[in-house]
């Protein structure tokens, strides 16, 4: 057996090694200066950096985690060369492919403050102030979307988790279980986001009947077809249970006729869920209210602040009109947590599958209070106008376009003898160019190129750059021997 003296010596040696995880004040200042200097250089360079760049990560492949630390500046160099200069530049205003955001710098400061204090925000008892901040954000969002005081929700890791929370709550509300799941029916269009299919599978609702409702020429749900399908299912002894509408589809940005869908859901006592992950925050703009009419009649909805509020990735929101149904779905108790019960404020852990969670609300609370809502409204209004500007300009170049944009996504394709092959070739050239990043999709077997304007760093200059890049690469492709351009 070791003597107390031996144990004391061992503890001293271990403490010396363990304290490396707590840098001194001077070490913290040095690391902070280097980190913030790196961030400043990164942001300053963004206007001149490509939206997309193919680059191998050879040094990262060779990097190993070992028993000894590495200098901070060496790690920053790896981050710069192997991570932040490869792939899609999500922070750049030239990212116009997948629905971008940009990542507000002030949100990053909020994350730093939240991570340093490391408040546990799963339960009110643990951090009353942090939970109140998140609950106040949820209350504000409910007000924006026209939800009543009975509503509540959760700040989630993104639209996928938010959708899962909503779908499981709908299942609980309608008491769908093993005895009736095969009679239950879910309705959506082919434009429903694939995270909803994941949520249906995870919650066991893949065993329910699923109906893909046709769309009109603007890629919106055909309400007449929905009404007829609901009627037929009811006549056949089935249970119309969940209708999923979309306020801003990923492919085209279309907004379904929400008010008409709400009428049908009320008539058939079905749960009405709205996927507003992309489009929801455009409701802040007064002149957009008509397009969102009916969203306030939904039973649940999802919004992504990391899309149309420009926050960093990992920020979603689910709102449920009846907070009690949400709590009935997720609130559970445990003996070891008995000290946490008996408070009036709702705890986040009672509104989602998460128990351990960080203070993600600060990344949203800080920019809203620091900049004010008007700055966000101005950005959203600008993005709508920029998208329409791009839409009209590519038409003038001879491109076919999708419907006039409801929000800030537009589709374009060049007509040719073999349009799919030609446009895939054009997209490949645009990616190789890389100054701006576009993505593509297929609708009804046709390849379309997508322009999604949503980064807070995208302004007229970036759109003009994108238009020039499209024009240059189009002319190059058309000039190639054997080109199939008409």
- Of residues 480 and 430, the one with the higher pLDDT is 430
- Please determine, looking at this structure, whether the domain spanning 111-371 carries the CATH number 1.20.1050.10: no
More confident residue, 263 or 340: 263
What's the whole-model pTM score? 0.94
- Beta carbons of 120 and 347 less than 8 angstroms apart: no
User: Which of 317-321, 334-338, 482-486 has the largest mean confidence?
Assistant: 317-321
Model confidence at 336, in pLDDT bands (50, 70, 90)? low
- Write down the mean pLDDT value for the chain: 93
Residues 6 or more apart whose Cβ sits within 8 Å of residue 252 = 191, 219, 402, 403, 406, 409, 411, 443
Cα–Cα distance for residue pair 218/407, rounded to 1 Å: 12
User: Which two tokens mark 313?
Assistant: 């990735």
pLDDT-wise least confident of 51-65, 73-87, 130-144, 377-391: 51-65
- For residue 4, the model assigns a pLDDT of 78
184 pLDDT above the threshold of 90: yes
Name residues whose C-beta falls within 8 Å of residue 266's C-beta, 6 or more positions apart in sequence. 297
pLDDT digits (tens, 9 = 90+) for 186-237: 999 999 999 999 999 999 999 999 999 999 999 999 999 999 999 999 999 9
Query: Which are the contacts of 291, defined by CB distance < 8 A and separation ≥ 6?
Result: 255, 406
Give 285-306 as a DSSP string: SGGGTTTTTTGGG-SEEEE-HH
CA distance linking residue 242 with residue 220, whole number of Å: 18
- 333 pLDDT band (50/70/90 cuts)? confident
Q: How far is it, in rounded angstroms, from Cα 405 to Cα 174? A: 36
Would you place residue 372 in the very low, low, confident or very high pLDDT band (cuts 50, 70, 90)?
very high
**Is the confidence at residue 484, as pLDDT, over 80?**
no
* Residue 5: predicted pLDDT: 81
Average pLDDT over residues 259-278: 98
Nearest to 282 by CA among 272, 274, 292: 292
**Domain boundary assignment for the chain:** 26-92, 111-371, 373-479
Please give the angle made by the CA atoms of 103, 104 and 108, to the nearest 5 degrees: 90
CA-only gyration radius of the chain, Å: 25
For 84-113, how does the pLDDT look when each residue is reduced to its tens digit (9 = 90+)?
888 889 999 999 998 987 799 999 999 999
**Residue with token string 């128990």:** 355
Q: How many CA atoms lie within 13 Å of 189's alpha carbon, on the beta-carbon side?
A: 28
Q: What burial class does residue 369 get, using C-beta atoms within 10 Å of its C-beta: 0-12 exposed, 13-18 middle, 19+ buried?
A: exposed
In the chain, what percentage of residues exceed pLDDT 70? 98
Interval 473-485 mean pLDDT: 82
pLDDT in tens, 138-168: 999 999 999 999 999 999 999 999 999 999 9
| 21-31: pLDDT as tens digits | 999 999 999 99
Paired strand residues for 244:
273
CA distance 459 to 441: 24
Residues in the chain: 486
What does CATH list as the number for 373-479? 3.90.1150.10
pLDDT at residue 410 tops 70: yes
Burial of 6 (0-12, 13-18, 19+ CB in 10 A): exposed
Whether 341 shows a pLDDT value over 90: the answer reads no
Does residue 483 register a pLDDT over 60? yes
Centre a 10 Å sphere on the Cβ of residue 289 and count the other Cβ atoms it contains: 13
In this predicted structure, which of 121-130, 302-311, 364-373 has the lowest mean pLDDT? 121-130
Confidence class for position 485, pLDDT limits 50, 70, 90: low
Confidence of residue 486 (pLDDT cuts 50, 70, 90): low
**Residue carrying the six token digits 């040095």:** 30
């Amino acid at each position: 057996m070791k003597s107390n003296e031996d144990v004391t010596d061992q503890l001293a040696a271990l403490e010396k090694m363990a304290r490396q995880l707590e840098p001194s004040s001077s070490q913290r200042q040095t690391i902070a200066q280097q980190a913030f200097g790196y961030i400043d250089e990164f942001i300053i360079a963004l206007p001149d950096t490509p939206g997309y760049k193919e680059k191998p990560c050879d040094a990262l492949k060779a990097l190993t985690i070992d028993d000894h630390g590495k200098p901070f500046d060496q790690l920053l160099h790896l981050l710069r060369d192997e991570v932040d200069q490869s792939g899609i530049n999500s922070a750049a205003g030239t990212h116009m492919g997948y629905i971008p955001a940009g990542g507000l710098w002030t949100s990053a400061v909020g994350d730093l403050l939240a991570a340093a204090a490391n408040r546990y925000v799963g339960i009110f008892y643990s951090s009353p102030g942090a939970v109140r901040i998140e609950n106040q954000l949820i209350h504000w969002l409910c007000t924006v979307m026209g939800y009543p005081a009975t509503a509540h929700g959760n700040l989630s890791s993104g639209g996928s988790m938010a959708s899962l929370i909503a779908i499981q709550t709908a299942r609980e509300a309608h008491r769908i279980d093993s005895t009736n799941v095969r009679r239950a029916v879910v309705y959506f269009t082919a434009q429903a986001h694939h995270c909803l299919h994941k949520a249906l599978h995870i919650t066991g609702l893949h065993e329910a009947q699923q109906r893909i409702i046709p769309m009109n020429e603007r890629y919106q749900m055909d309400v007449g077809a929905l009404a007829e399908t609901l009627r037929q299912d009811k006549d056949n002894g089935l249970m119309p249970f969940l209708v999923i509408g979309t306020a801003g589809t990923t492919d085209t940005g279309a907004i379904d006729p929400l008010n008409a869908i709400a009428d049908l859901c009320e008539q058939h006592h079905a749960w009405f869920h709205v996927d507003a992950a992309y489009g929801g925050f455009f409701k802040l703009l007064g002149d957009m209210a008509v397009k969102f009419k009916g969203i306030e009649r939904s039973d649940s909805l999802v919004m992504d602040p990391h899309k149309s509020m420009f926050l960093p990735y990992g920020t979603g929101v689910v709102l449920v009109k009846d907070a009690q149904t949400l709590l009935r779905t997720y609130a559970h108790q445990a003996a070891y947590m008995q000290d946490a019960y008996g408070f009036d404020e709702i705890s986040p852990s009672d509104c989602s599958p998460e128990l351990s969670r960080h203070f993600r609300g600060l990344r949203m609370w800080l920019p809203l209070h620091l900049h004010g809502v008007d700055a966000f409204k101005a950005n959203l209004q600008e993005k709508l106008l920029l998208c329409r500007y791009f839409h009209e300009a590519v038409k003038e170049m001879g491109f076919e376009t999708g419907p006039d944009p409801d929000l800030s996504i537009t589709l374009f394709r060049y007509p040719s003898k073999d349009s799919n092959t030609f446009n895939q070739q054009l997209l490949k050239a645009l990616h190789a160019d890389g100054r701006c990043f576009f993505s593509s999709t297929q609708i009804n077997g046709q390849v379309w190129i997508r322009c999604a304007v949503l980064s807070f760093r995208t302004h007229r200059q970036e759109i003009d750059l994108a238009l020039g890049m499209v024009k240059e690469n189009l002319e190059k492709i058309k000039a190639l021997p054997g080109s199939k351009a008409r």
